[in-house]
Amino acid sequence: MMKNAVSCREVVVVRGDREVLHGVGFDLRAGTVTGLLGPSGCGKTTLIRAIVGLQAKVTGDVAVLGLPAGAPKLRGRIGYVTQEPSVYGDLSVSENLRFFAAVLGVPADDVDRVIDAVELRSHADVRVDRLSGGQRSRASLAAALLGDPELLVLDEPTVGLDPVLRRDLWNLFHSLADAGATLLVSSHVMDEASRCDRLLLMRDGDLLADDTPQALLDSVGTDDIEQVFLTLIDRKAGAR
């Protein structure tokens, strides 16, 4: 297994006349769960889109599984879940997954595996537009899990989910990492930080920190990750 699943160096993204990412750089170690945390609008989704090869006007270097981001050979090796459900409302959960399995060229029996993984067995034959918001999010996650992708990039996958389901999904994320997958999970909920192996803290297009949760807590002398975030913001402001 390669040491780093993703390596970013001096990544800059310009949208219109505004620079959205300001020279971001970090590595995602293979087989780990990394949290990408920061307030809404800080650039998390832009960075994610750059990693999966969907973002325009990217400069710098983004290497994914040893290849340039967006390389055709990465198709099927990356699972990507957007903030909005990426499944069809007029199809059932199982119909959606059979369709995506055919597109990806993965065995049809993989559909049952991913339905069980996200705990949607009781809703497998229900149309997606009749599901709750949390259930639709799980259906999108199931689609991303088809074929056992090496890298999973999840943009706010736990928003709107109840605490029990959030816990179960984080347990699933770590099970996938234990099996060798690499996960990047974005969130604006600071209390999810403790569930990650490593954290990337972002604000206003800048990377404020890249370390383990415990190391970040120790660096500030607190047990509150939100306080870490606020302290880092104050330090950055004071350095200007």
Kindly list the averaged pLDDT for each block of 10 residues, start to end, along the chain of length 240.
Answer: 87 93 96 93 94 94 96 92 88 96 90 92 96 88 93 88 84 92 90 90 93 91 86 71
Taking alpha carbons only, the member of 7, 5, 3, 18 closest to residue 204 is 18
Compute how many other C-beta atoms are within 10 angstroms of the C-beta atom of residue 213: 17
* The amino acid at 224: D
Distance, in Å, from the CA atom of 121 to the CA atom of 31, rounded to the nearest integer, reads 27
Pick one of 1.20.1730.10, 1.10.340.70, 3.40.50.1460, 3.40.50.300 as the CATH number of 1-77+150-160+184-239: 3.40.50.300
Instruction: Spell out the residues 6+ positions from residue 237 whose beta carbon is closer than 8 angstroms to its own.
Output: none
Q: What pLDDT was estimated at residue 86? A: 84
Residue 90 burial (CB < 10 Å; 0-12/13-18/19+)?
exposed
Question: What is each CA distance from 21 to 49, 147, 211, in whole angstroms?
Answer: 12, 32, 19
Q: What pLDDT was estimated at residue 194? A: 87
Q: Taking the domains of the chain in order of start, what are their residue ranges? A: 1-77+150-160+184-239, 81-148
Q: What pLDDT was estimated at residue 190? A: 77
Q: pTM of this prediction?
A: 0.91
